[in-house]
Structure 1
Amino acid sequence: MKILVTGADGFIGSHLTEELVKRGYNVKAFVNYNSFNSWGWLDQSSMDVKSQLEVFAGDIRDPFGVKQAMVGCTHVLHLAALIAIPYSYHSPSTYIDTNIVGTLNIVQAAKELNVDKVVHTSTSEVYGTALYVPIDEDHPLQGQSPYSASKIGADQMALSFYRSFETPISVIRPFNTYGPRQSARAVIPTIISQIANGIHNIKLGSVTPTRDFNYVEDTVNGFISVMESDQSIGEVINIGSNYEVSIGETADTIADIMGVKLVIETDEDRLRPEKSEVERLWCNNQKAKDLLGWEPMFGQKEGFRRGLQATINWFTDEDNLSRYKADVYNL
């Protein structure tokens, strides 16, 4: 068994790659080619992890490089994607190339190379504002941003190869993952990094939307559970905590843990267009429990607080905090 992880240099991908190595899997990490020879967050991994990794630097948009990377691999965990919603308003065509064409490159190569399993990464954003809660896998898909539209297209491309060619594909649909290493464009690192830099009048977008936050350790375990389960082939599976909380309440909880009083200021640049804002997300994770035996370890209010504490501990380390520009809005 040899596993290729695309997007291994990113937030979730680096955590997933490290956990797979720790569990004894043979792992190849697909990282985005760059002139700095950076492996992204994998550069911060321990030597015990890095010494056991095979690293392939390429571009998910290049079908030839993707196929070359997949040669000899039995399983592919496909995480490589553009994920920032604000940037998708700015440059939507890059999301088509990376998210849809990149996924096509993966599943086409999987078909040609007879790969045993592809786990394609979706997102809860494909559901848009909840029409009913909690959101199960049968909920309608609503493209409320160019990003979510591109992920709907990528999901359907992946599933079409399962239906057309019996390519063994599973779709994992994580809800809002948070934790160490997350980009400051996401709301939890935005709040923590501003407070940690002594800013108590913090800038946010809308604070009324609700989210189902999933600690990165739970998301990683979800990926591995999907990969290891034969029952997941051809299925879309939500991975979430089944706990709904507003952005405002999240900010208050972080402030309470960090022992500060907050004043929240609305930053117009951080607001989504009215019809693009996803107002409510709340995960029904029953299918993951039934099919995979997966359970969130950081679920409900108590688990969310533990996950926030672990995230705060990481971000308030000076070496980690110095990597973030708390005073600059990150698209």
Structure 2
Amino acid sequence: MADGKKRIAVTGGHGKIGNVLVPYLRDLGHDVFVIDRDEPKSLDEPMMVADLTDFGQALDALSSIGKDVYARAEPKAFDVIVHLASMPHPRMVPDSEELRLNMMATYNVFEAARRLGIKNVVWTASEVGTGVPYDKTDAPYVPVDEDYPMRGYNVYSLTKVLGEEMAKQFCLNDPEMRITCLRLSNVMDPEEYAKFDTWQEDPTQRLWNFWTYVDNRDVAQAVAKAIDYDVRGKDAFFITNDETVMSTPTAELLDKHFPNIERRKEFVGNEVVISNEKAKRVLGFQPQYHWTDEK
């Protein structure tokens, strides 16, 4: 481990990503503390039940040291905050409520980190902030990279656009702060690979994000890499697989479904359209799990 054992707070640690990430980080030797609205999975789980849309609860949870009778609140309680907590999909609740939940939780985590002197935050942002669904927003070019224009097509994606801008402003106002935004693609668990077969005859089902995905286990790897990325300021990385969800060659799919889009490279095989090149080059991220290997 590059920088040794760290004390890490994981918000939303009982969600889809957290269920894989938390044990992964513990296996690496880190001391992981979960903050979630759900009850503990066991009486021995290091966690706090808290509503992160309430600033007082966020501040208290992110200042937690120790456990049981030795537990107390202190600044700099954690070396790193991994902020997963979010509404995972659009239209799960009314739009105004989704805006409130996602934005208040993200603001409260960033602001609590600033006040507590916790300088390292890894936030799982999303591909959706760059105009997903791409088939509805006149995508300008492929492959999609981190220079892509941001566009909040719906309230869910708007919270990701605003969250990244907020991260930028927090880091401008505190030059010692680091907020690494991981723009996750559509996260898949291995048991979900069975449904990939249903898309092969109808690629239009996955036009919305250029047929892109990422394995949940590779998300855990990306977060671990981002934890060790010790560069101040706000930065963003797409976290995707190397391949699309389709067996059809990517160039053929683009010819048929996006014939007029600018192509800035030649695509080989079913090469991914939302590029993970920066994450590989800067973070050392390398996808290890591929749907074509696990069918």
Residue 154 of structure 1 is matched in structure 2 by 163
Query: What is the root-mean-square deviation in Å for CA atoms of aligned residues?
Result: 2.8
Work out whether residues 213 and 240 of structure 1, in 8 Å CA contact, stay in contact via their aligned partners in 2. yes
- Give, in angstroms, the shift of residue 231 of structure 1: 3.3
Unaligned runs of 5+ in 1: 182-187, 250-280, 310-331
Q: Select which of 70, 84, 88 maps to 2:62.
A: 70
Work out whether residues 17 and 216 of structure 2, in 8 Å CA contact, stay in contact via their aligned partners in 1. yes
Work out whether residues 2 and 75 of structure 1, in 8 Å CA contact, stay in contact via their aligned partners in 2. yes
Residue 86 of structure 2 is matched in structure 1 by 81
Spell out the pairing of 1:1-331 with structure 2 (5 A cutoff).
1-33=6-38, 37=39, 39=40, 43=41, 51=44, 53-71=45-63, 72-87=77-92, 91-128=94-131, 129=134, 130-166=139-175, 167-179=177-189, 188=192, 191=195, 207=205, 209=207, 210-231=210-231, 233-245=233-245, 282-298=273-289, 303-307=290-294, 309=295
Work out whether residues 208 and 247 of structure 1, in 8 Å CA contact, stay in contact via their aligned partners in 2. no
Aligned pair count reads 243
- Give, in angstroms, the shift of residue 191 of structure 1: 3.9
Secondary structure in structure 1 of the residue aligned to 2:227 = helix
The structure with the greater share of residues assigned to helix is 1
Unaligned runs of 5+ in 2: 1-5, 64-76, 250-271
Change (3 A) 1:297 1:172: same
Distance 2:193 2:98 in 1: 23
- Give, in angstroms, the shift of residue 190 of structure 1: 9.5
Work out whether residues 123 and 175 of structure 1, in 8 Å CA contact, stay in contact via their aligned partners in 2. yes
Per-residue CA deviation, residues 127-177 of structure 1 (Å, 9 max, x unaligned), is 121421111111011212211111111221122101122222111111111
Change (3 A) 1:57 1:247: farther
Per-residue CA deviation, residues 244-267 of structure 1 (Å, 9 max, x unaligned), is 345999xxxxxxxxxxxxxxxxxx
The letter of the residue matching 2:283 is: L
Residue 255 of structure 2 is matched in structure 1 by none
Distance 1:151 1:101 in 2: 12
- Give, in angstroms, the shift of residue 242 of structure 1: 3.3
Distance 2:56 2:171 in 1: 21
Work out whether residues 208 and 248 of structure 1, in 8 Å CA contact, stay in contact via their aligned partners in 2. no
Change (3 A) 1:205 1:105: farther
Change (3 A) 1:163 1:304: same
- Give, in angstroms, the shift of residue 2 of structure 1: 1.1
Distance 1:158 1:150 in 2: 12
Change (3 A) 1:164 1:111: same
Distance 2:247 2:110 in 1: 36
Percentage of pairs with the same residue: 24
Runs of 4+ residues deviating >6 angstroms: none
Per-residue CA deviation, residues 112-131 of structure 1 (Å, 9 max, x unaligned), is 11103001111011112142
- Give, in angstroms, the shift of residue 243 of structure 1: 2.2
Secondary structure in structure 2 of the residue aligned to 1:122 = strand
Change (3 A) 1:58 1:180: farther
